[in-house]
Amino acid sequence: MALEVGIVGLPNIGKSTIFNALTAAGALAANYPFKTVKPNVGVVAVPDERLKIINQFQETEKIVPAFLRIVDIAGIARGASTGEGLGNKFLSHIREVDAILHVVRCFASTDVIHVDGTVDPVRDIDTLDIELALADLETVGPSLDKAERIAHSGDKEALARAELLKRAKEVLNQAKPVRSLELNPEERKIVKSFGLITAKKVLYVANVDESDVHGQGPLVSSMRQRAAAEGSVVVPVCGKLEAELAELDPSDRAEMLAAMDLKEPALAALAREAYRLLGLHSFFTTGPDEIRAWTIPIGATAPQAAGVIHTDFERGFIRAEVYTLQDLQQYKTEPAIKAAGKMRAEGKSYVVRDGDIVHFLFNV
């Protein structure tokens, strides 16, 4: 699934450092072709230890993790909503992504001056939120006028759109994001059609210094409180450290992580949180050629999951043979799993679970 997450933030907060570390070769997992597919778009693996566990029981030529596309969007300054600093161009880039990673500076430095002179993560979040709210108001105004004109003819769909746009306008006028509205699934679909930036889910990234890699300091604490108020999560990342880790070979990286009391690069946790933010999870296929994690939306049925591999699999779906990682660990081989009656035959209505190991049977 070619879903994209956009990295946004004010200027001089280390956003591009984190983007470059995310997309550096070998930064998060072995045997994965990290690369920048455009000047500002990178492909990032979603680290998953379950792939290594499967490989303990199934020999294979390669292991392929799930991945995300990450878009680095240039720093957004005050006035972006009115076109300052090529603001309109950058804001249009945000409209195209599926979710947002909002990088916020949580470190002091005399070498890199903050645009506002001081480091205050809550103020910075509010600054960007205001710019994005103002940009959305520019979209909502004309859309509301159009919906109201059509609604006068008695069009029920236009009436529903107009009422939803009124609610969006009300929260935006309070500099609050549209995602703060309580919406049912149908209303979410309508809101998505407007391309509103503040309707997108947000994951906050606290760019910390090397003295606070776990994000326990007061700056990150204040940021967590701010994020929690809107039901969002904060992931602490030391951009400088992650950039250094990305350039090391695996043994040196492990040594450096141990010295910093870290189990893994913070970017690994960031990639997984971004994956969850998008409402995605993985199922696995195994074989001598490859062990692969496939990305599907949470709630996808077996035929839909099959279609991610190939459209013919979905079109000619017969059934799915499913077992779990725990089954594999207990019984060691697929024949033993079958003999124990743990290999399940699932039909078209089966909802694929996170971590399922699946073989699809199809006929085209």
Phi, psi of 351 (to 5 degrees): -95, 120
Query: What integer best gives the mean pLDDT of the chain?
Result: 88
**Residue 358 structure tokens:** 């699946």
Q: Where are the domains of the chain?
A: 4-48+67-277, 299-362
DSSP assignment, residue 85? G
Q: Please report where in the chains the tokens 């969850």 appear, as a residue.
A: 276
- Degrees (nearest 5) of the Cα angle 95, 167, 192? 30
CA distances to 3, 248, 260 from 307, in Å: 16, 38, 43
Which pLDDT score, from 0 to 100, does residue 44 have? 86
- Is 4-48+67-277's fold the same as 299-362's? no
**Does the global pTM surpass 0.95?**
no
Instruction: Decide: helix, strand or coil at residue 284.
Output: strand
Q: How far is CA 47 from the centre of its chain?
A: 13
Least confident range of 19-28, 121-130, 276-285, 321-330: 19-28
- Which helix (H) or strand (E) segment holds residue 70: the answer is strand 66-72
Which pLDDT score, from 0 to 100, does residue 279 have? 92
Instruction: Please enumerate in sequence order all residues whose Cβ is within 8 A of that of 323, keeping only pairs 6 or more positions apart, or say none.
Output: 334, 337, 342, 343, 344, 356, 357
Q: What are 30-59's pLDDT values in tens digits?
A: 333 344 445 588 888 888 999 999 999 999
CA distance 358 to 356: 6
* Statement: residue 77 has pLDDT above 70: no
Phi, psi of 308 (to 5 degrees): -65, -35
* Statement: residue 85 has pLDDT above 80: no
- The DSSP code sequence of 178-215 is GGGS---HHHHHHHHHHT-GGGSEEEEEEE--GGGTT-
Decide which of 3.40.50.150, 3.10.20.30, 1.10.3720.10, 3.40.50.620 is the CATH code for 299-362.
3.10.20.30
Q: What are 323-337's pLDDT values in tens digits?
A: 999 999 999 999 999
Which pLDDT score, from 0 to 100, does residue 1 have? 56
| β-pairing verdict for 290-297 and 280-285 | antiparallel
CA distance 237 to 50: 24
CA distance 284 to 36: 25
- Which helix (H) or strand (E) segment holds residue 236: the answer is strand 234-237
Across 269-312, where does the E strand assignment appear? 280-285, 290-297
* Statement: residue 240 has pLDDT above 50: yes
Quickly name the fold that domain 4-48+67-277 has.
Rossmann fold (3.40.50)
Q: Are 104 and 223 in contact (CB under 8 A)?
A: yes
Which pLDDT score, from 0 to 100, does residue 36 have? 46
DSSP assignment, residue 353? P
Count of CB atoms situated within 10 Å of the CB of 151 = 17
Which pLDDT score, from 0 to 100, does residue 136 have? 92
Which pLDDT score, from 0 to 100, does residue 32 have? 38
